[in-house]
Amino acid sequence: MIKITFDKLDPESITNLVKKPNNGAVITFLGTTRNNTENRKVLHLEYEAYIPMAEIKLNEIIKHIHEKWDIEDVFIAHRLGKVEIGETSLVVSVSSPHRKLAFDACQYAVDTLKLIVPIWKKEFFQEESKWINSSNV
């Protein structure tokens, strides 16, 4: 399951959706917005996505997880738009009969998401704003 939304994310309800009676482990990763980067104070962040492609790429990640690991269920949710400091921008929740698989699959999902899913983050400072990973020349 995936969700790309401008609304606040609810990690608890997402976790409950992947939790099944035959699971021994449920891992939920939260990506939260930090108040600083390279010693500069960040005021808030904004996320932008190429939504139809991001949905396809998130589903590819989930498909690959099911092929590679004995995972019961996966939910990836990403927030877009303005996100205040300390709020949750990403939720990845994975359930499995065994914890090691759930940890591995969750880490794979987060790492791969950052590489292939077209979502961009902009940090807002006091005097300027900057897209992350883009050398802003």
Partner 1 sequence: MQVKIKFFALYKEKTKTKDTIIEISENGTIQDLSDLLIEIYPNLSNFKNKFIFAVNYEYQDYEYLLKDSDEVALIPPVSGGAK
d(CA 97, CA 56): 27
User: Residues interacting with partner 1, by CB under 8 A?
Assistant: 31-34, 47-50, 52-54, 56, 78, 89-90, 110, 113-122, 131-134, 136-137
Tell me the backbone φ, ψ of residue 67, rounded to 5 degrees.
-70, -35
- Kindly state the smallest distance separating residue 109's Cβ from partner 1, in Å: 10
Residues 6+ apart with CB under 8 A from 135: none
Give the shortest CB-20-to-partner 1 separation in angstroms: 25
Total Cβ atoms within 10 A of residue 50: 13
In whole angstroms, the minimum distance from the beta carbon of 40 to partner 1 comes to 14
From CA 136, how far away is CA 42, in angstroms rounded?
Answer: 17
User: Please, which residue, 24 or 51, has the CB nearer to partner 1?
Assistant: 51
Question: In this complex, which beta carbon is closest to partner 1, that of residue 48 or of residue 70?
Answer: 48
